[in-house]
C-alpha cells in the first residue's frame, strides 16, 4: 500500500511518527507531510525498525538527551540506531485542512461542521439547492456501514458523501445510499494530487455532481409534452365525442393558444362545449389547460412522432383551417 488516500483509512484516526506515514503514503509522503500533517509536539515511545524486519524499536533517551531506537525482538535481532527529535515526534492528520482543500477543488460553499458519527464532517454545500457535502474517514467496513446508516437516518435528504477510497463500500451501504438519493464518491478515483499538495478534480465538479443540481431529476419539457399528448389522444379515442373532439380543442386551445370563445367560433359550436372538453383535458392530465400552452412548441413534434392509428388519421389541415360544421350539443 503506497497511496495517500489508502494511508488515511489506516492512520488518520491517530498520531504516528513520520516513518509510519511515509511507509503507507509512499510517493505522496512529501505532499502529505508539507500540506496535511502537523506536529503534536509529543514524542512517540516507539519507532518502526529501519532495517525492514517489521518490529518496533523503543525510543530510549540516553545521557545528554540523545535518542536511540532499541530493538524489542526476542531474541534481539536488530542494531540500535539514533533517532532525531523530528523523527520521534508524533504527527497527526489535519482533517479540517483537507476539508477546505476538497471544498475548493469541488467548488463547494464552505460549511465546516463536525457531525455526530465518528470521523465524519460536513465540509460544505453544493449548488444553489445547498446539497450537503460530507467527508468520512473509516478503516473498517462495519464502521463505514454504521456511518452511512446514521447519516441517512438523520439527514433525510440527498447528500454527497466523500471517502478516501471505495474499498469499504458494499452492497448494503450502496442500497442505503441509493434509498436516500445520496451519492458516493471516493477521492482516490476523483482527485488529482499535485507535487506541491494541490488537489484538483479529474472531472469538472458540475459534471461530477450533475445528478444533484437543481432540476436534475425533473422530466424535460419534451418528455412531459409527449406524455400529455398521449393522455389526451387516449381520452379522445375512448370518449368518441362528436365534433369538436377533445383532440381538436386541445390542439386549438393548448397548441395554438386560442381562447375558449375563439375555439368555439372556429369549430362552429357553443363555448360551453369547448369548456366541457377542456374540463376533460384538465381531469385526465391533472393540469390546467392554460398551463399546457407552455409545451405548445413540442406538440407539433410529438403529434408527428406518435404512430397510433388514430393519430395517423387526424388531418392537420382540419385543425388549422376550416373544420366541418358540427352539430351543437
118-144 residue pLDDT tens = 999 999 999 999 999 999 999 999 999
Measured at the alpha carbon of residue 176, what is the angle toward residues 174 and 181, in degrees to the nearest 5? Answer: 90
CA 132 to chain centre: 10
Q: Which residues pair with 193 in a beta bridge?
A: 199
Percent above pLDDT 70 for the chain: 88
Given a cut of 70, whether residue 216 has pLDDT beyond it is no
By the 8 A CB rule, do 18 and 32 touch? no
What is the pLDDT confidence band of residue 35, given thresholds at 50, 70 and 90? very high
Q: How far apart are CA 177 and CA 180, in angstroms?
A: 5
Residues ≥6 apart with Cβ < 8 Å to 172: 145
Given a cut of 60, whether residue 71 has pLDDT beyond it is yes
Burial-class residue 81 by CB neighbours within 10 Å (0-12, 13-18, 19+): middle
Q: How far apart are CA 239 and CA 126, in angstroms?
A: 49
What are 248-301's pLDDT values in tens digits?
899 889 988 899 999 999 999 999 999 999 999 999 888 899 988 888 887 766
pLDDT for 125 equals: 97
Q: How far apart are CA 122 and CA 256, in angstroms?
A: 50
Beta strands per DSSP E along the chain: 15-16, 37-43, 46-48, 56-61, 67-71, 81-83, 89-93, 109-114, 120-126, 131-136, 160-163, 183-186, 191-193, 199-201
pLDDT for 1 equals: 39
Q: Which of 33-37, 247-251, 287-291, 306-310 has the lowest mean pLDDT?
A: 306-310
Given a cut of 50, whether residue 12 has pLDDT beyond it is yes
pLDDT for 166 equals: 95
Q: How far apart are CA 12 and CA 38, in angstroms?
A: 12
Q: Which of 206-210, 229-233, 262-266, 306-310 has the lowest mean pLDDT?
A: 306-310
Q: Is-cis flag, bond preceding 75, omega within 30?
A: yes
Q: Which domains does the chain have, with CATH numbers?
A: 4-93 (no CATH), 95-212 (3.40.1350), 221-320 (no CATH)
Q: How far is CA 148 from CA 4, 5, 102, in A?
A: 23, 19, 20
pTM of the predicted structure, to 2 decimals: 0.65
Q: How far apart are CA 64 and CA 80, in angstroms?
A: 17
By the 8 A CB rule, do 299 and 247 touch? no
Amino acid at each position: 500500500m503506497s497511496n495517500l488516500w489508502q494511508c488515511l483509512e489506516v492512520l488518520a484516526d491517530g498520531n504516528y511518527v513520520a516513518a509510519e506515514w511515509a511507509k503507507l503514503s509512499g510517493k505522496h509522503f512529501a505532499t502529505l507531510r508539507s500540506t496535511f500533517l502537523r506536529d503534536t509536539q509529543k514524542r512517540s515511545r516507539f519507532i518502526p525498525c529501519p532495517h525492514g524486519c517489521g518490529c518496533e524499536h523503543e525510543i530510549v533517551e540516553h545521557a545528554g538527551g540523545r535518542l536511540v531506537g532499541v530493538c524489542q525482538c526476542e531474541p534481539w535481532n536488530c542494531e540500535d540506531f539514533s533517532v532525531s527529535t523530528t523523527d520521534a515526534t508524533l504527527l497527526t492528520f489535519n482533517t479540517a485542512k483537507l476539508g477546505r482543500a476538497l471544498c475548493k477543488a469541488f467548488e463547494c460553499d464552505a460549511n465546516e461542521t463536525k457531525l455526530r458519527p465518528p470521523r465524519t464532517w460536513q465540509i460544505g454545500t453544493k449548488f444553489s439547492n445547498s446539497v450537503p457535502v460530507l467527508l468520512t474517514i473509516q478503516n473498517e467496513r462495519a464502521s463505514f456501514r454504521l456511518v452511512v446508516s446514521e447519516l441517512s437516518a438523520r439527514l433525510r435528504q440527498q447528500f454527497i458523501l466523500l471517502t478516501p477510497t471505495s474499498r469499504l463500500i458494499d452492497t448494503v451501504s450502496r442500497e442505503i445510499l441509493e434509498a436516500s438519493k445520496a451519492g458516493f464518491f471516493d477521492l482516490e478515483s476523483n482527485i488529482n494530487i499535485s507535487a506541491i499538495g494541490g488537489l484538483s478534480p479529474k472531472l469538472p465538479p458540475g459534471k461530477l455532481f450533475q445528478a444533484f443540481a437543481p432540476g436534475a431529476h425533473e422530466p424535460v419539457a419534451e418528455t412531459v409534452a409527449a406524455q400529455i399528448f398521449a393522455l389526451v389522444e387516449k381520452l379522445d379515442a375512448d370518449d368518441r365525442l362528436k365534433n369538436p373532439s377533445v383532440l381538436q380543442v386541445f390542439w386549438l386551445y393548448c397548441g395554438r393558444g386560442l381562447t375558449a370563445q375563439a375555439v368555439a367560433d372556429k369549430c362552429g359550436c357553443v363555448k360551453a362545449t369547448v369548456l366541457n372538453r377542456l374540463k376533460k383535458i384538465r381531469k385526465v392530465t391533472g393540469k390546467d389547460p392554460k398551463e399546457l400552452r407552455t409545451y405548445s412548441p413540442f406538440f407539433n413534434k410529438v403529434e408527428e412522432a406518435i404512430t397510433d392509428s388514430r393519430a395517423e388519421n387526424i388531418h392537420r389541415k382540419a385543425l388549422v383551417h376550416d373544420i366541418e360544421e358540427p352539430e351543437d350539443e
